[in-house]
Structure 1
Amino acid sequence: MTTVYDFNVKKTNGELKSLKDFQGKTLLIVNTASKCGLTPQFKELQELYNKYQQDGFEILGFPCDQFNNQEFEDIKETVQFCQLNYGISFPMFAKINVNGENADPLFTHLKEQKSGVFSKNIKWNFTKFLVDRHGNVVERYAPTTTPSRIESDIEKLLK
């Protein structure tokens, strides 16, 4: 059975990174945007990361510009914005598409594992996927679901 560990993703410098490097960790995978009304969620994401990273929790951020062009053109600007404004220290990756024929294979897999309420497609920035220590997608959260509201689900997987 395919898990998230079977995928490679592009780092911000263009190099490939195997998600096998995160094997055994609980993951929250998020499509992000720097110029979105939901961008302040970065603050809560970083707070969760600070609180649970030592327990085997990782957040993986994937900037996406598919929703009203709300991401910087240059990935360096995105990373700088996230670090300066929100102190982001969790891994951020290269800008991707989450829907359509050019969708990143990881996000195609995530959507196949957990559909949205009305379709598989991701509707907006800050859709979140919670992945257990075995690489299985256990939950999908709407963009408007704040990171603090999923903290108890994260805690359950970390036990």
Structure 2
Amino acid sequence: MPQLSDFSATRIDGHPQPLSAYAGQVVLVVNTASACGFTPQFAGLQQLHQRYAGQGLVVLGFPCNQFGQQDKGSNSEIVGFCQRNYGVDFPMMAKVDVNGPQAHPLFQWLKAQAPGILGTQSIKWNFTKFLIGRDGQVQARFAPRDTPATLVEAIEAALDAPAP
């Protein structure tokens, strides 16, 4: 069965990032946007990163421009915006598609492992979140309206689970 470490991505600086680098950690994957009503969630994601990184949480942001064209900027503009406005220093990846024929393979897998409401495999909007356990498997999917603060209980449970 596939797991997180089977995938790779491109960091926002253009360098390849094997996701096997996060093996044994709890990972929160989020499709982000810089000009969305949910964009202030960057602050909460950064707080989760600061609070739990030492315990093994990694937040991974994946900018996406598929929803209302709300992330039109270049990768360098996006990372600059996130750092300047929200102090983001968790790993950001290069802009990706999360739906459709060009969807990043990671998001194809995430959607198949944790379908949305009524079993839909599409992502409906920016800031959909996927929590991946230390075993590299998807544990939960959270809607865009679920703020980072509401994920604390699930994150703490994942962090407390024994490593494989």
Which bin holds the TM-score, normalised by the shorter protein?
over 0.9
What secondary structure sits across from 1:98 in the alignment? Answer: coil
Stretches of 4+ aligned residues off by more than 4 angstroms: none
Deviates more, 1:10-19 or 1:124-133: 10-19
For 1:46 and 1:130, how far apart are their aligned partners in 2? 15
Please tell me whether residue 3 in structure 1 is matched to residue 27 in structure 2.
no
- Kindly state the Cα deviation for residue 12 of structure 1 after the two structures are TM-superposed: 1.5
Instruction: Count the aligned residue pairs.
Output: 159
Determine the structure 2 residue equivalent to 1:54: 54
For each residue in 1:33-87, what CA deviation from the matched residue of structure 2 results, as whole angstroms up to 9, or x when unmatched? 0000000000111011100000000000000000011013311000000000000
For 2:122 and 2:80, how far apart are their aligned partners in 1? 29
For each residue in 1:6-35, what CA deviation from the matched residue of structure 2 results, as whole angstroms up to 9, or x when unmatched? 001011132211000000100000000000
Please tell me whether residue 133 in structure 1 is matched to residue 134 in structure 2.
yes
Determine the structure 1 residue equivalent to 2:150: 149
Could you tell me which amino acid in structure 2 is paired with residue 136 of structure 1?
Q
Determine the structure 2 residue equivalent to 1:36: 36
Structure 2 unmatched runs, 5+: none
Q: How do residues 4-153 of structure 1 correspond to structure 2 at under 5 angstroms?
A: 4-118=4-118, 119-153=120-154
What secondary structure sits across from 2:145 in the alignment? Answer: coil
CA RMSD of superposed structures (Å)? 0.7
Deviates more, 1:92-101 or 1:10-19: 10-19
TM-score for both structures, normalised by structure 2: 0.95
Could you tell me which amino acid in structure 1 is paired with residue 69 of structure 2?
N
TM-score for both structures, normalised by structure 1: 0.98
For 2:15 and 2:26, how far apart are their aligned partners in 1? 23
For 2:42 and 2:132, how far apart are their aligned partners in 1? 19
What fraction of aligned residue pairs are identical, expressed as a percent?
A: 47
What secondary structure sits across from 1:28 in the alignment? Answer: strand
What secondary structure sits across from 1:13 in the alignment? Answer: coil
For 1:95 and 1:51, how far apart are their aligned partners in 2? 26
- Kindly state the Cα deviation for residue 4 of structure 1 after the two structures are TM-superposed: 1.1
For 2:44 and 2:12, how far apart are their aligned partners in 1? 22
